Amino acid sequence: MTTNGASSPAGLTLVEVRSRIQLGQTNAMPSDTGRSFWRIMQANLFTLFNLIVGGSFALLLVLGYWQDALFGFFVIANVVIGVAQEFRAKLTLSRLAVLNAPRARVLRRDESGAESLHEVRVADVVLDDVLVLAAGDQVTADAVVLEANGLEVDESLLTGESDALDAAPGRELLSGSSIVGGSGLARVIRVGADSYAARITAEAKQFSLVRSELRSGIARIIKWITIALLPVGAIVVNGQMQAVGGWEAAIATGAWREATVASAASLIAMIPQGLVFMTSVALAVGAVKLARREVLVQELAAVEGLARVDMLCLDKTGTLTEGRLVLDSVEPVSDIAGWDAALGHFAADRDANATAKALGERFAAVASLELHAAVPFSSARKWSAAEFRDPRAAGSWVLGAPDIVLAGAAPAAAQPVLARTSELAASGLRTLVLAHSPEALPETEPAAAHLPPRLVPAAVLTFREKVRPDAHETLEYFREQGVSIRVISGDDPRTVAAVAREAGVEHVGDGFDARRLPDASTPEGESELDAIMGREHVFGRVTPEQKKAMVLSLQRLGYTVAMTGDGVNDALALKHADMGIAMGSGAAATRAVARLVLLDGQFSRLPRIVAEGRQVIANVERLAKLFLSKTTYAILFAVVFGLLLWPFPFLPRQLSIVDGLTIGLPALVLALLPNIQKYRPGFLQRAARFCIPSGLIVGGTLISVVAYAYLGGYAAPVVQTAAVITLTLTALWVLVILSRPFTWITTLVVIAAYAGLGVVLSIPIVTDFLQLGAPPIELIAVAVGASVIGSAVLEITHRLLHHK
């Protein structure tokens, strides 16, 4: 049995169906989305970082020092957040589907050869099945048309081509396309993983996370700290054991337990435990705020993603436009009466297509105008007709494509009109002509209808896609922010260019026909494509594979690319873009691969997303400086006290209180403050330039006070109290610097942090829990004085570096 257009429309026998099922030639779709849940757990749980921190947490619990194991909350929270983000992305992809038809209708024969119609699941369609298609159906597998009765197919979601296409016998239908008119039979030629829908689905389902500078930068920080933990940890452990009398004495007397607690305090102080957690909190709050504005964030890191974008690729239909046509102009070309009444009829026709319906905004139907005969619109004919026997619009009227409607008209009347319509079409407008004949419409079946004789052009009509009223303002915003624009569509380049020009896109030109793009599968083709993408701004007739290649080309040129779209034809490009943005009314497959979904389809939401992303980036950068300053001085403590063989001057619980006052509680506020600072790449370098000198100054201040206390022979609880005072007061000046410019909120945060130290030191139950001693006035004066000097040095250093 053949599978071409000339094959018999006879369906498969049940025996043939069973044979194909056994061979695996069914329409079951692949479901793999990359990493399994177990692999996601492994990647987030079994890391060297978690081994060190989690090991310290478990050891303290085993030794009974649960009061010093509070840091374990952040370890657990960070693992849970990481797993949850990746698993949510995996679940979203697992629901991705190009096909959404509930059932398929096929012709099959029983053992006696009798043929009947069967309704089967989409997955149960097999190779060589004969699909029965009618208006409203979705094509469930790639097929070739066998029989067609006015069969029309809409492939706009797949290819971006917005016009319905005539599906004559022999034409190939792509799975995922929709039947919008007529009926027919089609033989299945590709099923399952080989079908067009499955190929798009399979690539779109591959698991990936948003490219996030915050996440990658913090991951690099954690990696560096993890590497440093091993050698520094060895120094710390040895130093604490020596501080209690050496390894043998520590083990023999049980002093190793206190040394272990001190070592854990030293190591945990080096780790910015709350940075990942607070970053996730800032992103989550941003996602919630965007949700209130009808923006669905599929992955938390996407909140910051659009703030980094410097290239925005826009689909035309549904993004720049509202997805509907509007009447642009009507030019009468003769004095034939009744043309306006005829247009009113075409607009009000129950079977009018989108183009004819657009006439209704200007032309109203005449209720008493009696219709004698009509020919409905067909994409194969490219015209519709109506005959009236009313003096106000007597005769036959034909509305359709100028070159077809006027093909048999008198040249003297037709040529000037055809020249005018060609000129209008070249500007990107959709052009129709209304023609009149005094003759009656030929009495034939609609499928065999032909034009009446003696047609004379009456009016030229132009239509355009309605540009969103907010498109110009939104594009102007991105232009001011230094974001380049590319318009990419499956429609005619001239139409795309006209829409782009009306929306306010710069450097439009005539639009580039993507059929002239080079093959990007070779190095030479890639280089040529890169040159075109750097030069051209508007593209038409773009295929889904070309959209993907264009996004990759812009990324090779160094851009951070965002892509908007609503059709399946956009799915691959959205998948590979740095930031995929789908319209809420778009295809399910497109929404599944997108990082952001504009639920109400409002393009004007994008500036608000940029503002939210900027706030997150700026605030997380501030948090990173706060947390990493602490990491810097903690590493300095660990190395200095380890090499000097001095006891570490903090218990883990004491460090938790200091961290809470100087970092933890203020970070909750700083992470959520309004911030409109424009994005600048390199946040990690800026954080390093701030935190390294700040950490060294804070660390040096503390070491000097602790050295004074140890050399003065003060007891350990007294030294620890002096250390808590010194570190809190000095580290709080880092908070003061990062809280500028001051607002009433940041002012309250700083005042509350300083007041918090006084509260901690004045409540007996708290000092008992923290095991703090009462230092003499002299040592308190030294601690406060050193803190004032350290704060002054911090201020001077910051001003010098900031000025530079």
Please check the confidence at residue 162 and state whether its pLDDT lies above 70: no
Q: What is the predicted pLDDT for the residue at 591? A: 72
Instruction: Give the HSE-up count for residue 373: Cα atoms under 13 Å, Cβ half-sphere.
Output: 17
pLDDT tens by residue, 618-677: 888 888 888 889 888 888 888 888 888 888 788 777 877 888 888 878 887 887 777 766
The 10s digit of each residue's pLDDT in 144-153 is: 999 888 787 8
With a cut of 50, say whether residue 7 has pLDDT above it: no
Residue type, 528: E
Token pair, residue 470, equals 């907010």
Q: For 761-770, what is each residue's pLDDT tens digit?
A: 888 888 888 8
Give the residue-averaged pLDDT of 182-211. Answer: 72
Whether 537 contacts 509, CB under 8 Å = yes
Cβ–Cβ contacts within 10 Å for residue 296, how many? Answer: 17
Report pTM.
0.66
List b or e across 449-487, with b for residues whose CB sees 16 or more CB atoms inside 10 angstroms.
Answer: bebbeebbbbbbbbbbbbbbebbeebbebbeebebbbbb
Distance CA 267, CA 276 (A): 18
Which pLDDT belongs to residue 795?
A: 93
* Per-residue pLDDT tens digits for 748-793: 989 999 999 989 888 888 888 888 888 899 999 999 999 999 999 9
| CA separation for the pair 727, 787 (Å, rounded) | 8
Contact present, 406 and 457 (Cβ < 8 Å): yes
For the question of residue 492 being annotated catalytic, the response is: no
Concatenate the DSSP letters of all residues of 358-417 into one string.
GGGGT----TT--EEEEEEEETTTTEEEEEE-STTS-EEEEEE-HHHHTTTS-HHHHHHH
Rounded to 5 degrees, what are φ and ψ at 610?
-60, -45
- Give yes or no for residue 383 having a pLDDT over 70: yes
Largest CA distance in the chain: 118
Digit-coded pLDDT (tens) for 192-201: 878 776 676 6
Distance (Å, whole) CA 190 – CA 126? 9
Q: What is the mean pLDDT of residues 224-245?
A: 79
Distances (CA, A) of 311 to 77, 415, 484, 506, 641: 35, 45, 5, 14, 51
353 pLDDT more than 90? no
Question: If you average pLDDT over residues 385-411, what whole number do you get?
Answer: 89
Amino acid code (one letter) for 647: P
Higher-confidence position of 455 and 664: 455
Which of 300, 287, 274, 215 lies closest to 623 in space, CA to CA?
Answer: 274
pLDDT at 791: 94
Q: For residue 433, what are the CA distances in angstroms to 162, 340, 493, 520, 647?
A: 20, 13, 22, 41, 93
Residue indicated by tokens 């090991």 = 55
Return the higher-pLDDT residue of 219 and 85.
219
Token pair belonging to 495: 């139409």
Q: How far, in Å, CA of 409 to CA of 449, rounded? A: 17
| Beta-bridge mates of residue 747 | none
Taking alpha carbons only, the member of 687, 691, 667, 629 closest to residue 753 is 667
Instruction: Return the SS3 of 253.
Output: helix
Give dist(CA 149, CA 723) in Å, integer: 88
Mean pLDDT score across all residues of the chain: 81
- Answer yes or no: is pLDDT of 469 > 60: yes
Distance CA 85, CA 303 (A): 13
Catalytic residue among 129, 154, 310, 315: 315
Position 101 scores a pLDDT of: 52
pLDDT band at 46 (very low <50, low <70, confident <90, very high): low
3-state class (DSSP) for residue 153: strand
DSSP state at residue 205: T
The more confidently predicted of residues 385 and 242 is 385
Top-confidence residue, 104 or 100? 104
Helical segments of 205-297, H only: 213-243, 247-253, 256-269, 273-291
CB count within 10 Å of CB 193 equals: 14
In this predicted structure, the answer to whether residue 120 has a pLDDT above a threshold of 60 is yes
What pLDDT digit, counting tens, does each position of 500-558 carry? 888 888 888 888 999 899 988 888 999 999 999 999 999 988 887 888 899 999 999 99
CA 272 to chain CA centroid, Å, is 28
Q: Give the model's pLDDT for residue 74.
A: 61
Q: What percent of the chain has pLDDT over 90?
A: 19
Say which amino acid occupies 396. Answer: S
Buried b (16+ CB within 10 A) or exposed e, 407-445: eebeeebbeebbebbeebbebbbbbbbbbbbeeebeeee
